[in-house]
Structure 1
């Protein structure tokens, strides 16, 4: 019996020692002032991308929510939304593409979006599971030179925010690559396996500039 207890304590210590501490952004209230700017580690001239994040929110499913916004001076280059009807969507300089997937809620969801200009293939992954593929904006290129923010939808260059579209909840583990990750790698990221980190945004090292009341907390996972 005593040996079993010792082995349990040793195993527990190993798990705790191998734990990982990650930062999360907590947006506690609706506003038209609270947001976080992410500074890219490479230009956002993109013909393909994978964007992943972990997100949780208690906002009603009948309220639209901006999840990620990249805008240049005149265009919304890449915006990721939860729509009024609960669908997830993203927009590349114009009309968007929509996916009916399990709705976001207060329990943390791992969300990834992929798109490839050469084929137009677009898909969404929820907790490692892939949606159907849709063809969207074939031949399009995302332009560099803009600002990336979390928490608000800029209707002009980093301004004109609407509190009714702001994000309220928790966002973490935001990574972005300038290519489409294999499905297997996305599943590994969801399960916190492997070491793949974004080359456009790497959550562990990307500079974050907080504006307004957004809390950065550290969590053990």
Structure 2
């Protein structure tokens, strides 16, 4: 009975500590073939959003890195990048908005991006800390009917990948809402609080289609 008692105590201590098992994706090498497709839970016809993820990057040399891609047949509807100079940016069917922030690296970072079409306000959060606001694509709408890709930058609907833009590192807890979350909610998500999950993309429920040599593991959040 002692092993069972030990397992029970471990489970109780984890519950009291608030730790939650969660899947994570490890992209080990730069390649033009490894990617993960996320299947949205609702059409991505968006006039506002909050997009959050936990990410760590380990790359040799300086290059741009794709963090998140949503593309329809004709447009890069929403792409998130670490730029060549270390800035973070996102692009919606045209020129992007860029933020000079501490550079992403091998240490895990909680990253969120918010945008609202009515005001054009765009902002970025790193580990719960908010950037300045910028005005970007006021009146724009993100169009439905595309594909969400982690790990690659699709230059066509689902293809034309380049290994020198691919993601290398670990990414997990990718969630997306069709509203701009309050700063306090984003800070709570960073702290691991069990707030409402994304209604567009929910990392705990959204179907993932794995392509290539990507390791899927489970860890505690």
TM-score for both structures, normalised by structure 1:
0.93
Distance 2:27 2:10 in 1: 33
Q: Hey, what does 1:3 align to over in structure 2?
A: none
Specify the alignment match of 2:6 in structure 1: none
- Pairing 1:54–2:51 present: no
CA displacement, residues 65-94 of structure 1 (integer Å, 9 cap, x when unaligned): 000000000000000000000000000000
Unaligned runs of 5+ in 1: 1-10
Contact kept in structure 2, 1:67 and 1:79, CA below 8 Å: yes
Contact 1:48 1:178 in 2 (8 A): yes
- Aligned pairs for 1:98-177 (under 5 A) are 98-177=98-177
Deviation of 1:134 after TM superposition, in Å, equals 0.1
Residue correspondences, number: 212
Tell me, yes or no, if the aligned pair for 2:185 and 2:195 is still in contact at 8 Å: no
How far is 1:60 from its partner? 4.4
In structure 1, the partner of 2:14 is 16
Is the CA contact 1:26–1:214 (under 8 Å) kept in the aligned structure 2?
yes
After TM superposition, list the pairs within 5 Å mapping 1:14-53 onto structure 2: 14-18=12-16, 19-53=19-53
Shift in Å, 1:13: 6.8
Partner of residue 214, structure 1: 214
Q: Please, which moves more after superposition, 59-68 or 125-134?
A: 59-68
CA distance in 1, matches of 2:182, 2:195: 14
CA distance in 1, matches of 2:147, 2:77: 10
Counterpart-to-counterpart distance in 1, 2:123 and 2:15: 36
Match of 2:96 in 1: 96
Once superposed, which parts of structure 1, at least 4 consecutive aligned residues long, lie more than 2 Å away? 11-19
Superposition RMSD in Å = 1.5
Residue 58 of structure 1: how far off its partner (Å): 1.2
Distance 1:102 1:123 in 2: 15
Q: Kindly tell me: are residues 189 and 85 of structure 1, through their superposed partners in 2, closer, same or farther at Cα, counting changes over 3 Å?
A: same
1:4 matched to which residue of 2?
none
Displacement of 1:102 in angstroms is: 1.0
Report deviation, 1:17.
3.7
Asked whether the equivalents of residues 61 and 86 of structure 1 are also in contact (C-alpha less than 8 Å), the reply is: no
SS where residue 187 of structure 1 aligns?
A: helix
Shift of 1:62: 2.0
